[in-house]
Amino acid sequence: MADQPPRRPRTLNDARTEAEAAFKRATAKVAQAPPKTVVVPGVREQVTLRIDQDVLEWFQEGGPGWQDRINEALRKAAGK
């Protein structure tokens, strides 16, 4: 051990630099995206949607199935 040069004493800047580097290594983990779920055809998801009252009344005037008609109109608008 006598062959090694003497260590120089640490300074505040050295300690701060090492602490910042250690913190970055510990916190710089890339978040992984959640796994995609398999979409089953025909399964519907309940959502809350705000629609203008006159538009809602127009769909409801057709009687039962108004939600299906809205879904169909949205599907057409989405190009599906």
> pLDDT-based confidence at 59, cuts 50/70/90?
very high
Contact 66, 59 (CB under 8 A): yes
Q: What is the pLDDT of residue 58?
A: 95
Q: What is the pLDDT of residue 46?
A: 86
**In this structure, what token pair is assigned to residue 55?**
């538009």
> pLDDT-based confidence at 2, cuts 50/70/90?
low
In the chain, domain spans: 47-80
**In this structure, what token pair is assigned to residue 64?**
């039962």
Residue type, 79: G
pLDDT of 11-56, one tens digit each? 666 778 888 888 887 766 677 888 877 777 778 888 899 999 999 9
User: Could you please report the per-residue DSSP string of 20-54?
Assistant: HHHHHHHH-PPPPPPPPPPPPTT----------HH
* Rounded Cα–Cα distance for residues 27 and 20 (Å): 10
